[in-house]
Amino acid sequence: MNQNFSFKRYVWLLKRQWYENAAIYKWGIVLMALLIVAIFGLFFLASSWENAGNDLPLKLGQMAAFGATGIVFLFIYSANFFESLTSKNRKMFYFSLPVSPLERVAITFTFVAIVAPLLFWTVFTMFDFIAVQLFNQIHETSVQMFFKDIIMNEKTFENYLGYLSIVSIFTLGSLMFGKKGPVISIIFMITFGIVYLWVCKWLMVFGLHGSDIVIDFHIFIYFLPVWWVLMYFVMKRKEA
């Protein structure tokens, strides 16, 4: 089995991943678009019951559309990334391909961390732009687009790392546990948070922690490299 990284094999694997899962990716985009339109439509209807200058309905619509489509995106593009390997025969074929574990990890990272976020950002921003323009024209307000108003600020990179840390856990869970991956990933994250709070509590008892016990979500970001290193070794072990 190849162990060195080859850009040529990487491109070949990239094309293969896209063509084999093109239908899922396209239907994911369609589903996200339908959800966004439906949610914005509901909040536009709600805005007709409010005063003309009240932009709260649209802001709520932006957050609801972002959250709902984000969940759809999470399950289609990360939690089920390795769903095609649930069959023993397909799994054997996939891990017998003449590519290295590093190339497999690189492809996974490309789709989960780069391609999927770009698709999500493009679809959401397109419909958000239309909704904001219509709302501002109808109600004579100055509502900002969601990413400009909330996401695209001085913490943009930090927000991205937070997103990446979560989808990395789901992607690793998909690789290790197949269809059970999403459920196990959620249980792991909850358990991880409980253990973190427990450790903070005992550190506070011994005077090594402040008086406030809160979940610092940076803790997930700190472990981000760990998930991808684990993914590499899991792939390497599955090849054996």
**Section 208-223 average pLDDT:** 63
The model's pLDDT over 136-173, given as tens digits with 9 standing for 90+, comes to: 887 777 777 777 655 555 567 777 888 888 889 989 98
What burial class does residue 44 get, using C-beta atoms within 10 Å of its C-beta: 0-12 exposed, 13-18 middle, 19+ buried? middle
The answer, yes or no, to whether residue 205 has pLDDT greater than 80, is no
Task: Return d(Cα 131, Cα 137) in angstroms, integer.
Answer: 10
The model's pLDDT over 96-146, given as tens digits with 9 standing for 90+, comes to: 778 888 888 999 999 888 888 888 888 888 888 888 888 888 777 777 777
The residue among 107 and 20 whose pLDDT is bigger is: 107
| Enclosing H/E stretch for 194 | helix 181-205
N-term to C-term CA, the chain: 9
What residue spans define the domains of the chain?
Answer: 7-239
Amino acid 44 reads F
The answer, yes or no, to whether residue 239 has pLDDT greater than 60, is yes
**Whole-model pTM?**
0.78
